[in-house]
Amino acid sequence: MRSHPLREQIIAEVHARPFQMLQAPLGMRHIAVTYDGTPLNEVQESLSRLSDLLQLRETTGKSRFWQGENDQLTLRFEAHHEFYTLTLTALNTLELPELPQAWLDTAPGSFLCGAEILFRDHRPGADVNPWLEQHFGENQVNSSLVMSEVGQIWTDFFPREDSGLVRVLVEDRGLQLRQAGRLLQRICEIETYRHVALLALPLANEVVPVINQLETELVELSTRVASEEPSVLLHQLMDLAERLEALSAQTSNRFSASDAYFALVNKRIGELRETRIEGRQTVEQFMDRRLDPATRTCRTAGLRIEQLSRRLARTTQLVRSQVDLSIEQQNRDMLSSLSKRAGEQLRLQAKLESFTIIVMTYYAFDLIDRTLRNLVSNEEYRHLMEAGLSMSVPFIALGLWLYIRRLLRGVGED
């Protein structure tokens, strides 16, 4: 028995992105960057330069996942299909780590979103309002107890003016080290996946008027199916199908990816296991209110394109059926015309049959007469035989007529 060639790769994928073991206090900066056509090897080269600038030693090195650390910092790199993420964590401090500006100026790709996380120990009896005002000001703050109430988070989901990142405050109320790592990673993933999912929203808003126009044209064409020439309608339907197929090719990948990312956002929110705090909106409630309309818009746009494609296929099939019926009618008329001509030919042949018998009787009589003249030398016998031959002309004609009728038997019926 030999090992499957993909066995090691499959096993490695299960353990490709392990959770970190984290404890308060710490500051975390997480960013998501789209490739914009940049090859992965160039991104990895840029990551190597960043590692050198931060003086990190590699602890995990794989093609799509990398982690390095020193006594003060840890850096995680994850490569996804459309984007890559960097998570820089400052240990044992509530100060947020900074990515070197020299690296940011030359980093490949386009910055999409990110989060700043401050993670501290719970302070029983302490007033958290000054901490919240310091970081969120007058913005509405969403908060909940998470992970079976062993953690608490606060955020306003507004990107900060200085960094463009959403700030999240987290308190440790009894989290284990890996629980803390899972919690902070889920917060980063929620922020990343919701932005990647929303990449489909501008496209959905852009194509909705186009879908409306195509639907209007299809309705107008459908009402003309019974009265319009099928060939003309079929040509117009083919033009409509070409435009719809181009629209589907333009949007299907984006809408499918968006639907998958929306599902991931909901899954990560569910994994937070939130407990509502009186007077505060939870992350799930915020997303239901703010993200659900965008989710429905993207899904509806994709669904309308699919439904329009099916309706167009049914209308096209109906018109093709009419074309097929028209062709069958033409074929039937042509066969009927051919049958009519064949019948006329048979009738003409029947009319000429009598003339054919007369001619064949004449040639038969002449042939027999010449034979008798050559074979019979006695004049008296020859005259008697010629007289008998003359009297047998009707019988010769009758025999020929019966023979011809036998040959033509059934032809007239067919």
Q: Average pLDDT, stretch 385-392?
A: 77
Name the strand (E) or helix (H) holding 342.
helix 292-375
Angle, CA of 72, 73 and 74, to the nearest 5°: 145
- Cα–Cα distance for residue pair 198/364, rounded to 1 Å: 101
Phi and psi (nearest 5°) for 169? Answer: -105, 135
Q: Tens of pLDDT along 7-43?
A: 766 666 666 667 889 999 999 999 999 999 999 999 9
- Find tokens 């939130």 and name the residue: 274
Give every CB contact of residue 337 below 8 A, 6+ residues apart in sequence: none
pTM: 0.76
Sheet order of strands, 57-61 included: 57-61, 65-69, 73-79, 83-91, 26-34, 110-121, 166-172, 151-159, 142-146, 275-276
Q: Judge if the upstream peptide bond of residue 293 is cis by omega within 30 degrees of 0.
A: no
Phi and psi (nearest 5°) for 13? Answer: -65, -35
Q: Tens of pLDDT along 321-344?
A: 777 777 777 788 888 888 888 777
Local structure of residue 266 (DSSP, 8 states): H
Domain ranges across the chain: 13-189, 200-331, 344-407
Is the distance from CB of 316 to CB of 237 less than 8 angstroms?
yes
Local structure of residue 173 (DSSP, 8 states): S
Quote the pLDDT of residue 17.
67
CA-closest candidate to residue 239, choices 180, 319, 357, 299:
319
Query: Is it true that domain 200-331 has CATH number 3.40.190?
Result: no
CA-closest candidate to residue 115, choices 129, 134, 101, 96:
96
Is the distance from CB of 151 to CB of 175 less than 8 angstroms?
yes
Q: Tens of pLDDT along 185-239?
A: 999 999 999 999 999 999 999 999 999 999 999 888 888 876 777 777 888 888 9
Name the strand (E) or helix (H) holding 111.
strand 110-121
Could you tell me the two tokens for 114? 């990110």
